[in-house]
Amino acid sequence: MTLFAAEPRRRSRSRTVGWAFVIGAVVLGLLASLLPSPYLIEVPGPVYNTIGTQEQGSGKDAKAVKLIQIEGHETYPTAGALDMLTVGIQGDATNRPAWTSVIRALFTKSQAVIPASAIYPEGVSTDQVNQQDEADMQSSQQSAVAAALIQQGYRLPTDLEVGTVQKGSAAEGVIEKGDVIRSFDGTALTTNADATSLRELVAKHGTSTPAKVVVERDGAQETVEVTPRSEQGTALIGVGVTERYDFPFTVSIKLQDVGGPSAGMMFALGIIDEITPGKLNGGKHVAGTGTITADGEVGAIGGIRQKMYGAKDAGATVFLAPADNCDEVVGHVPAGLDVYKVSTLDQAVTDLQTIGSGKSTAKLARCTS
């Protein structure tokens, strides 16, 4: 009798230990779900029509403000939309999403989970990131205006203003922040592609002899000598320059509370639509994204999956994507959205003209696997 009674008692203890593990695991899981994760979540953000308006102000002071405002040049009626997209970020440098939100995002097509360090590196605050985003937006808007006007045949005089002088570089103590570089080795730098030309001129000069650089400082020009130094096999003088354009008429972009450089291409298309007869998009609802350089090169951006879903939700049927983002586009296009890949502003304009005219789009480039 005693021998038979011992076995059930062993089973009873096993059940007790097993339930303890289950309850413990559940409690730990609940606690973990409330703990912040080391991740951020990207979600579709607000959408803005570059040829439309944005509600600005609050309460009685709220009003619809036209995003692209042009003075000194004739403008023409537009129709449809040329939407620029944004990405919302859940979390910031100090506040992170809970694990439950992260797990949910992993199974949501319109969301993405990214390491917090991708946006907020160690030691960088939310305010610092926001300030950089604002600076990037301002720079991209100037590039968009320049790209649009150059695409339309304007030749823009350009100042190359020194924004940074690298510590320990050849230029330190010779060239100063705020200087305007007028020429290098006798070659004037006054056209819309001279940031690239300056690098090419420095590389061509080499590192064996001093180069003569004419700078404008405090309204006066002076000639200085700088001997480029080799950095990873490339001759450099160690300055960062910003292109400052002299536009033939005034183009103001009035977008508020949005940062980053990824709206450049869509603003350039919006400007072109405003200053040329006809409707560039044929009145269709088009969305897109991509950085832009003054010479019209379209660059990759982040969060393109979220932007495609944001475009779809806003009613767009056509989406222009940077060619360099195609690997993230393939397999993730929302139903009902036609996506075309572009690498230059010229190509984007041609694509829109084809799409807007109702002609066959079979020959337009698309992202493929």
Each residue's pLDDT, cut to its tens digit, for the chain (369 residues) gives 444 444 544 545 555 556 555 555 555 555 555 677 899 999 999 999 999 999 988 888 889 999 999 999 999 999 999 999 999 999 988 889 999 899 999 999 999 999 998 888 887 788 888 888 887 888 889 899 999 999 999 988 888 888 889 888 999 999 999 999 999 998 888 755 454 578 889 999 999 999 999 999 998 999 999 999 988 788 999 888 877 888 999 999 999 888 888 999 999 999 999 999 999 999 999 999 999 998 899 999 999 999 999 999 999 999 999 999 999 999 999 999 999 999 999 999 999 999 999 899 999 999 986
Check residue 43 and give its pLDDT. 95
Check residue 200 and give its pLDDT. 87
Structure tokens at 69: 């405002």
Check residue 174 and give its pLDDT. 95
Check residue 15 and give its pLDDT. 56
Using DSSP's 3-state secondary structure scheme, residue 39 falls into strand
Contacts of 92 (CB under 8 A, 6+ apart): 40, 120, 126
Q: What is the CA radius of gyration of the chain?
A: 28
Closest CA to 111 of 90, 130, 129: 90
Closest CA to 105 of 162, 174, 44: 44
Separation CA 179–CA 159 (nearest Å)? 10
In contact, 205 and 122? CB cutoff 8 Å = no
Q: Is the pTM of this model over 0.85?
A: no
- Beta strand extents in 5-62 (DSSP E only): 39-49, 53-56
| Residue carrying the six token digits 């940074």 | 164
Check residue 234 and give its pLDDT. 86
Check residue 109 and give its pLDDT. 93
In contact, 183 and 215? CB cutoff 8 Å = no
Check residue 97 and give its pLDDT. 92
Check residue 20 and give its pLDDT. 57
Structure tokens at 257: 């509370």
Check residue 1 and give its pLDDT. 46
Structure tokens at 72: 């000194």
Using DSSP's 3-state secondary structure scheme, residue 219 falls into coil
Burial of 71 (0-12, 13-18, 19+ CB in 10 A): exposed
Check residue 242 and give its pLDDT. 78
- Rounded to 5°, the CA angle 339-345-350 comes to 65
Check residue 271 and give its pLDDT. 98
